[in-house]
Amino acid sequence: MTSIGIHDLALATTHHVVDLAELAEDAGVDPAKYHIGLGQDRMSVPTADEDIVTMGAEAALPLLQRHGTDGIRTLLFATESGVDQSKSAGLFVHELLGLPRTMRVVEFKQACYGATAALQSALGFVARNPQERVLVISSDVARYELGSAGEPTQGAGAVAMLVAADPALLEIEPVSGVAARDVDDFWRPNDSTTAVVDGRLSLTAYLGALTTAWDDFTAAGGVGIEQIDRFCFHQPFTKMARKALTGLAQHTGATLTDELQEATFAYNRELGNTYTASLYAGLASLLDHDDDLAGRRIGLFSYGSGAVGEFFTGLVRPGYQQLRRRESTEAQIAGRVRLGLPAYRELHGAEHPSDTDWEAPSVTEGAFRFAGIRDRARRYEATPVGTAQPPV
C-alpha cells in the first residue's frame, strides 16, 4: 500500500505583533494571567494590506520554490475568516502564485477543523492518483471584541502543506476517529466581524469531542495509546492543549506528561490563535524542535467549534530534519514590528465596505499584499519581494 501524507510544510504570519504584557498592563491584570493562564506571549496582527490570502500565498511560496508545481492539480484552502461568501480565497492565491490553469480550487469551512477536512480530502485525491500532489493552505485571522475575554487569544497565521505519495515528512495513517455535535460554543454571524464565544462551553465541548473521537479511533482499530510517542493538539491557546492531554490521560487511564507535547508550543505562543492553522503550526513546531522523531508516531487532534473533532496519527519519516524551516520561521516571527496599543485598536476597528473603492496603504514587507477594493472586488498583488514566480 502506498504511503501518503505531508511531504513538506511551511508557516507564515503577519508584519505586526502585539505584546500581551502590554495588553495586560493596560487592562490592569497580572501578565501571568496571559503568559501562564493562557500560555500565550504575543499575538500577530495583520496590517491593512495583509489578510488570509496574503498569508496563505506567503506560506505556500517556499513549498513551490523547493518542489515546483508539477503534479499539483488541486488547491484546498481552509479558513473560518473568509474574504468572500462565494469565491474561494484559494483562487486569489492561485493567481498570485502563478499556478497552472488546469487545477481544482476549493475553500473548506468548519471553524478550526477545516484544515483537517482539507488534509483528509487531499489524501483521498492522492490515493486515487499517486502521481498527483495537493496543495493545502490553512490561513486565518482571529478577532474578538476589544476588551473581551477573548481579546488576548487573538492571532493570525497560515500553514501550507504539500500532500503527496511517499511523503518526506509525515505519513498519515489510515485510521481516524471523528466526533460531531451541534453546540453553540463559538461562532461568527455573517453580520459580525468578530467571533462570539462561550468560553466555559467551548472548553467542555473541546474535551468532549476529544474523548468521543478517541473512542471512535480505538473502535475503528487505531493503535493503543501506549504506541503514540508524541501528541499535537489544536491550540486556541497553548494551555488548552495541556488541559486536553490531561483530559485524555484521565479518560484512558494512561500516564501522559507534558513532555510528550511540549515542543508543539513554540510557534503558537508567539502567533496567538490561528484557527485552522493552529494544529499544523503546532506540528511545524514539533518537527522543528524535536530532533528524535524519525519513526515516531504522533497523535493529532483537530477541533472546530460548533463542533467537530478528529483524532488521527502519523509516522515521522527518516530524514525529516533536512526539510525543517526553523531558522526562517523564527526569523519571520522575530522580525515582526511591534504595534502599540492605540495603533492596534485603530487597526482593529477599521472597516472597508465593498461598495466603496479603497486603496490599502503599503505596509507589509511580505511577498504579497492586499491592494484594496475596486469595483466591489478585492485586488491583490505581488510586492517587489514576491515578484519572482516559483518554478513551474
Binding residues for (3S)-3-hydroxy-3-methylglutaryl-CoA: 30, 144, 243, 273
Does 16 qualify as catalytic in the annotation?
A: no
Which of 15, 67, 94, 234 is catalytic? The answer is 234
Q: Which three cell numbers stand for residue 61?
A: 511560496
What three-state secondary structure class fits 360? coil
Which of 50, 58, 80, 107 is catalytic? The answer is 80
Spatial separation of the C-alpha atoms in residues 343 and 66, rounded to whole Å? 37
Q: Which three cell numbers stand for residue 75?
A: 488547491
If you ran DSSP here, which 8-state letter would residue 147 be given? T
Nearest to 158 by CA among 43, 234, 271, 263: 271
Q: How many residues does the chain have?
A: 392
Spatial separation of the C-alpha atoms in residues 367 and 328, rounded to whole Å? 14
10 Å Cβ neighbour count for 3? Answer: 16
Torsion over CA: 288, 292, 294, 296 (sign): negative
Q: Which three cell numbers stand for residue 13?
A: 504570519
Spatial separation of the C-alpha atoms in residues 114 and 128, rounded to whole Å? 21
If you ran DSSP here, which 8-state letter would residue 232 be given? E
Extended strands (E) in 282-321: 297-304, 308-316
Contact predicate 43/365, CB 8 Å? no
Spatial separation of the C-alpha atoms in residues 163 and 169, rounded to whole Å? 10
Within 8 A by CB and 6+ apart from 75, the residues are 90, 93, 94, 99, 103, 104, 105, 106, 134, 135, 136, 137
Torsion over CA: 107, 110, 115, 117 (sign): negative
Spatial separation of the C-alpha atoms in residues 110 and 304, rounded to whole Å? 6
Spatial separation of the C-alpha atoms in residues 281 and 286, rounded to whole Å? 9
Contact predicate 314/287, CB 8 Å? no
Which of 112, 151, 270, 310 is catalytic? The answer is 112
If you ran DSSP here, which 8-state letter would residue 375 be given? T
Spatial separation of the C-alpha atoms in residues 89 and 75, rounded to whole Å? 10
Does 348 qualify as catalytic in the annotation?
A: no
Contact predicate 26/114, CB 8 Å? no
Does 80 qualify as catalytic in the annotation?
A: yes
Which residues are marked as active site?
80, 112, 234
